[in-house]
A and B are shown apart, each in its own frame.
Chain A
Amino acid sequence: MADVVARDLTLSTAHRRLTMQKFVRRKSTIAFFMCLPLILVVACLVVYPAFYSISLAMMNKSMQHFVGFGNFAFLLKRNTFWMVVEQTVLFAVTAVIFKALIGFIAAHFVHNLPAKGQRKWRGMLLIPWVIPPAMSTLAWFWLFDPSYSAFNWVFAQLGIPQVAWLGNPYWARFAVILVNVWVGSPFFLIMYLAALKSVPEQLHEAAMIDGASWWQKIWYINLPMMSNIIQITALFSLIVTFANFDIVKILTNGGPVDQTHVFATWAFNWAISGNDIPLGASVSLFMAPILALAAVLILRNVRQRGNEA
């Protein structure tokens, strides 16, 4: 086939093809150079530190000797470490579940509104996500203040006993999760609303003719249609929540008695406040396996989605 075509080629088209080839080759070179700054930044400021932290984690406190897995062994023997593991998992999983639930429910409510009015509500509901978390956490901190808590004032008016929001370990755990859910749900709301809009209206019409209830429509139509975005969003959020720093640092700084520490804040306290960089690095490295798992799952989901499309 190619021979037949080649025989018919005039000199000029052959020439043009040659320059095209050269052009393509040049194009990929340009493309590579366009990516070069990105590759450099990622290599120097993300990949290199990620690997450097592994070698750091194997040093002693003064960073003079190689201690192998000594730091990890030291951590595994400490009760506080296991408490941090427990709290981080509890914090991340509970927060993501509630963010997803609230986002899912709120997205349906917004979706029920006439199209004109949606923008306004969406705009208001996204505000918690736009405020820098450090700033909004300060507001929460003030709402939870031991002597001037505005929540406790309302409780007092209603005759409900006062709550030591940040003083009691259980309430403190509740508080950090609550603030995280408050910050993160709007993100879920927006993602799920976008997913909801992509569910074909005909499916709902067909279901209505078949006599499906609103619950059946959500369960048998919306949920399966949205499942991919639900998963991707939840996994994204799991990574971010798992590595959360701002909220816990400002709200409780790990207290009372280290009950609310997550990996990031505990690592910070070791490395920066406690001046033990290797131990801090080894604490933060414990985040890596879970992050890697979530990353693999997201990539699989994204690919799947690409294949379906």
Chain B
Amino acid sequence: MTTAIADAGHTPGVRYGSISQGRRRTLYWSYFFLILFVIVFLTPPVYMFITSLKSSAEISAASNPWWVYNPTLSNYADLLTQKTYLIFFRNSAVVSLCVVTITMLISVLAAFSPRMKFWGSATLATGVFLAYLIPDTLVFIPLFKTFAFIHDKRGIELINHWWVLIILLPTLTVPFCTWIMIGYFASIPKELDEAALIDGAVYPDADKIFIPVALPGIIAAMIFCFTVSWANFLYGLAFTTSADQLTLPVGIVTTLIRGDVYAWGQIMTGALLGAAPPLIIYAFLMDYYIAGLTAGATKG
């Protein structure tokens, strides 16, 4: 760029030429550094994949760890026929789907209400935001104690059941999704509601007009809700212990790593398969994902 400016004094033709030259140079450098970034960013997942294709013998051999000499699918076969792993998968899937359903029912309703300008709508947005900022690491201890207390008083055993995560995870997803959707819905012009009202629409009809426009925001919130509940590690680790009650992240960390005998091929396979559902959703719905990400913080 600086050379472009320096040349500017001579002839107009040269100036244009060197500007585009400068642009091309910035472009090449951008590609160069982006490739470096991509290599660094993708090393762990790629290494996961490399290890997942290796047999235990090859892993413990002193050969190049970055290359697969005898690729094998035995880790995948072993894991997908192992009952415990399938149970982890099922637990995670059922928990995540239930949490998504519950969260969306609660959040869509709540996020829609500020558009009606009722007396508490400003307070509601701030409150949701503050609730979203309270991390799971702060509330899991009192919740654990509360559940133990419920067990003592009422005899209902809540700890060490996978379904208890369906009660727990909304603590994270409900404020988060409501926040994202309030942000997204706020970007939809108010005139749309008013137009619907002038046209004589009663509220259910307004929903029919509003919901299709709001759909990208709702989808983004759903994706986040799923990702958060699928990835959650703390609640599962604190509240469930028996092998058949664990979700995928907790199951892989606590049961596949047995003492010092690390079955790394299997662990990496398990982790990769565990990362697959969010990655697949992301691959197909990337634009919604990014829209939701930026709506959460920028349109507050």
Contact = CB atoms under 8 A, between A and B. Distances in A.
Interface of A: 27-32, 34-35, 37-38, 41-42, 45-50, 52-53, 56, 63, 102, 105-106, 108-110, 112-114, 119, 121-128, 130-136, 138-140, 142-143, 145, 148, 150, 153-154, 182, 185-187, 190-191, 194-195, 208, 211, 213-214, 229, 232-233, 236, 239-240, 243-246, 249-250, 263-264, 267-268, 271-272, 277, 280-281, 284-285, 287-288, 291, 294-295, 298-299, 302, 305-306
A45 B168 contact: yes
Contact of A47 (B118, B126, B131, B140): B131
A131 B138 contact: no
A109 B41 contact: no
B45 A49 contact: no
The 3 A-B residue pairs with the shortest CB-CB distance in the complex, in nearest-first order = A132-B231, A243-B135, A28-B118
B192 interface: no
Contact of A214 (B1, B264, B290): B1
Q: B-side binding surface: helix, strand, loop or mixed?
A: helix
A49 B146 contact: yes
Contact of A49 (B41, B120, B142): B142
Contacts of B48: 135, 138-139, 142
Contacts of B279: 127, 130-131
B233 A134 contact: yes
Given A113-B27, A130-B282, A148-B60, A38 B135 contact: no
B44 A143 contact: yes
B93 to A, nearest CB: 14
Contacts of A35: 109-110, 113, 120, 124
Contacts of B71: none
A131 B230 CA distance: 10
B170 interface: yes
Interface size for chain B: under 10, 10 to 19, 20 to 34, or 35 or more residues?
A: 35 or more
Interface string B115-144: 011111100101111110111111111111
Interface in B127-171: 127-131, 133-146, 167-168, 170-171
A31 B116 contact: yes
Given A56-B145, A135-B252, A187-B293, A37 B109 contact: yes
Contacts of A49: 139, 142-143, 146, 171
A27 to B, nearest CB: 5
A67 B58 CA distance: 57
Interface stretch (B30-38, B81-89, B209-217): B30-38
A194 B278 contact: no
Contacts of A211: 5, 8
Contact of A140 (B44, B110, B121, B128): B44
5 contacts: A32-B120, A48-B142, A136-B271, A250-B253, A268-B234
A138 to B, nearest CB: 5
B282 A243 contact: no
B245 interface: no
B174 A42 contact: yes
B131 A31 contact: no
A41 B300 contact: no
Given A45-B170, A123-B286, 13 more contacts: A38-B128, A41-B171, A108-B30, A113-B27, A126-B290, A135-B249, A138-B267, A150-B47, A250-B253, A264-B234, A277-B144, A284-B137, A291-B135
A47 B30 CA distance: 47
A302 B237 contact: no
Contact of A121 (B38, B44, B107, B234): B38
Given A38-B106, A132-B275, A288-B138, A148 B59 contact: yes
A131 B46 CA distance: 12
Main secondary structure of the interface of A (DSSP, over half): helix
B253 A53 contact: no
B226 to A, nearest CB: 11
B44 A128 contact: yes
B133 A294 contact: yes
Contacts of B137: 243-245, 263-264, 267-268, 284, 287
A298 B249 CA distance: 31
B17 interface: no
Contacts of A305: 300
Given A134-B249, A187-B293, A46 B234 contact: no
